[in-house]
Chains A and B, each alone.
Chain A
């Protein structure tokens, strides 16, 4: 086990000790114990920077189930490291923030930090595992720990609802992803990501390519809250705000982004991938930004904004995959989309984290998150206001913050879509920049709403639960660090370009680089007066107008029927599947034995008849048949008359006697067919069972003693005739298809020689096949004890 493995699982191991710290040191906030770990991890992961910068990949393998090709292979490359740094870095900031956010004596802190560390370890495992099965295991662990965190205040109904919803949706996608991983294994014979990328060509021409692609994308889209699976994210806002900041803005929702980026070398060349990732991303972007404007809850705005920004990154990854088509170009301008995606991924983590924390502060200090009750907090909370302002301006794409730069690159990438001469993009590719531009306008609007509705306008202290004041300094440290990163990355974007972005690009597009090459990443502040700049200006102007006139046009949201929403669909599906399965159950599980017998016999007929017809096995061969004598005919007539009249007699007594007569005729058959032992036994047993029947008959309750003929039911008749016919046909065919001689010759020869007996039946029963007899007498013993128990012990329950 290398240090790298230890680093990945260290949060999981550390989580074990959290409850001891919590119970042992009551006076210290448990978060302080959890805080050092992510800081150490962050520093440890920083030490990998030089190696990834020189395009090296660090691999360490640990055997888990080698016979199945499942080994815990840790792999640090540019992409994995970028995510690991985000996870540990923001993890540390979030823990610091949560120390001040969660009260020491009111909350179950041990639960919180155990779940959070579980999540952190799982996330590190997802991004640093090379083996897909291991990655999947960690992936599900993120779903579970996120479920626990969303339902942290489990006494609230909405928390439980949100937790269940996110669980159902992400686990649904996770299972689909597992299917995709297995399909990839079928195609390549390995679970190793590195090897799968190497055999990308072979996969591309495989018949299972599209199913695997769809399964993997389903996993990525559900986790990253893409359309139409984004619905769990707004409901996940019931979690404590540090959780929302960590999971639902910076890390977990980016697991899907990670997955898409990771699989770009495998699937990226396909047009399906381009259309789905790019198209769904764009749709999510515009949908999320449009509905974010409608929200009145601060965290809901941020949730929809996260959905929309994830769509942005996703669409960039989709467009960037097109770069794989232009390998021949010397200066491949299409890689800019991937660059923009990575850059925006980092930027989004910084500004969204700080915005969530700011929203948490507002909630914590005023007691509400509803923007209709908030306003005029600018003088009361100047620092929070500054944080929000920078974060929101960066989100809206206003210079000089980092969001502006990635937004510009986003526009550049989208404009370039129209220049691609693949997939017919030269005609309808114009949709890409147009939709992106409209979405950006809405992004601008909700960013403005977020700041100005909260911090400016009229102060309404009567609507607030608490007397608002600035947050304690500890709560402000983390958001301040994050917004300072927003500014630093805004002014010095090239700090990131060589250290993080270029290695990550090399990991996403490994085939585009020659040996020793590097992606040339230069992020310029000033591009000159080009189309992108005009678009940004247009966004600001139009966005400002829309924000000012929002009260006038905001009504259109009310016109959108509530029934069309995807939440309604989800709830309907959930409820419908419950009531539907209930109805189905009630329909066929009637509780009546008659129906179950109908199913069993009906299935019996269909199955056997079907097999007979399919195999064409029906055959009647009379060459091997004995002559029929007059005695047999008479006896058959007796049995037929006896058993058919049972159906038509009125009295139960008569049917019992008829049944007895059938039994005695059977023993006559044994006599006729020379089976004296059977005949003797059959006679005695028939006598006993008829007397038992009579005994039961005598004890029938008086109430039900109606002497009626059996009712005729068509289904019963059809089924019973069918069963009879099928069995007859099978008996005839089986007799006609005898393949081997009987083994009875052995018994005939050896009964006396080996077993010193002359009654072959008895010798078989006690000697050759005595084992069966042993258990048959056991069956008899059990039956008698059962009867004894039923009758003698029947009142015991009532007395006791």
Chain B
């Protein structure tokens, strides 16, 4: 089959990919205050990766991003469970979150919340799951 030269797609991807990725990170981090969160952020990030997959083929994407998405799923689950189970160490019930305001040198005053760690787990699992499914089905010939 003749390789189609889709230069327009490839060029626009270079711009769009980062915007989408940035937006997905924004949605993930803003989740506690504005619409969004780990789930939709993860979906958005995998949307960016899917765009990458559509533009190039699976092997190229695997070369650009050498990630085993099943490990990503497992890491996400581990983070979520560790965050939940960590509460037990402090003698409070499973899945008790804490938050505190911290003064950081560069970032200034920040409200840190363990719920974000839990959401990070969700975020990673969603990326891992979506990409595993799409790669597996797409790579099956």
Contact = CB atoms under 8 A, between A and B. Distances in A.
Nearest to B84: A774
Nearest to B83: A770
Interface string B100-141: 000000000001010100110110011011101100110010
B73 A680 contact: no
A684 B51 CA distance: 14
B47 interface: yes
Interface residues of B, number: 43
A757 B113 contact: yes
Contacts of A763: 32, 115
A356 to B, nearest CB: 73
Contacts, number: 123
Given A681-B43, A757-B32, A774 B95 contact: yes
Contact of B76 (A676, A762, A770, A777): A777
Contacts of B140: 791
Contact of A780 (B44, B95, B129, B137): B129
A771 B96 CA distance: 10
A788 B80 contact: no
A32 B80 CA distance: 74
Interface residues of A, number: 35
Interface in A752-800: 755-759, 761-763, 765-767, 770-771, 773-774, 777-778, 780-781, 783-785, 787-788, 791-792
B49 interface: no
A783 B132 CA distance: 10
A791 B97 contact: no
B70 A788 contact: yes
Given A766-B118, A770-B118, A777-B77, A759 B34 contact: yes
Given A756-B99, A784-B73, A680 B32 contact: no
B32 A758 contact: yes
Contacts of A761: 35, 37
A621 interface: no
A699 to B, nearest CB: 9
Contacts of A773: 80, 118, 122
A692 interface: yes
Contacts of A681: 39-40, 43
Nearest to A675: B35
A774 B82 CA distance: 11
Interface in A723-777: 755-759, 761-763, 765-767, 770-771, 773-774, 777
Contact of A766 (B47, B73, B115): B115
A178 to B, nearest CB: 48
Interface string B17-47: 0000000000100011111111110011001
A784 B84 contact: no
B22 to A, nearest CB: 16
A676 B35 contact: yes
Contacts of B34: 758-759
Contacts of B47: 684
A777 B125 CA distance: 7
B9 interface: no
A762 B129 contact: no
B81 interface: yes
Contacts of A777: 76-77, 80, 121-122, 125-126
Given A763-B32, A774-B95, A755 B137 contact: no
A695 interface: yes
A680 B137 contact: no
A677 interface: yes
Contacts of A684: 40, 43-44, 47
A43 interface: no
A767 B125 CA distance: 18
A103 interface: no
Q: Which of B47, B111, B137 has the most CB of A within 10 A?
A: B137
A569 interface: no
A676 B36 CA distance: 8
B36 to A, nearest CB: 7
Nearest to B43: A684
A688 interface: yes
B76 A755 contact: no
Interface string B56-81: 00000000000000100110110011
Nearest to A751: B32
Contacts of B73: 780-781, 784-785
B134 to A, nearest CB: 8
Interface string A644-684: 00000000000000000000000000000000110011001
Interface of A: 676-677, 680-681, 684-685, 688, 692, 695, 755-759, 761-763, 765-767, 770-771, 773-774, 777-778, 780-781, 783-785, 787-788, 791-792
List the 10 closest A-B pairs by CB distance, nearest first. A676-B35, A757-B32, A784-B129, A784-B132, A762-B37, A777-B125, A758-B33, A756-B99, A684-B43, A780-B129
22 contacts: A676-B35, A677-B36, A685-B43, A688-B130, A692-B133, A759-B31, A761-B35, A766-B115, A766-B119, A766-B122, A767-B97, A770-B84, A770-B115, A774-B95, A778-B77, A780-B126, A781-B73, A784-B73, A784-B133, A787-B132, A788-B70, A788-B136
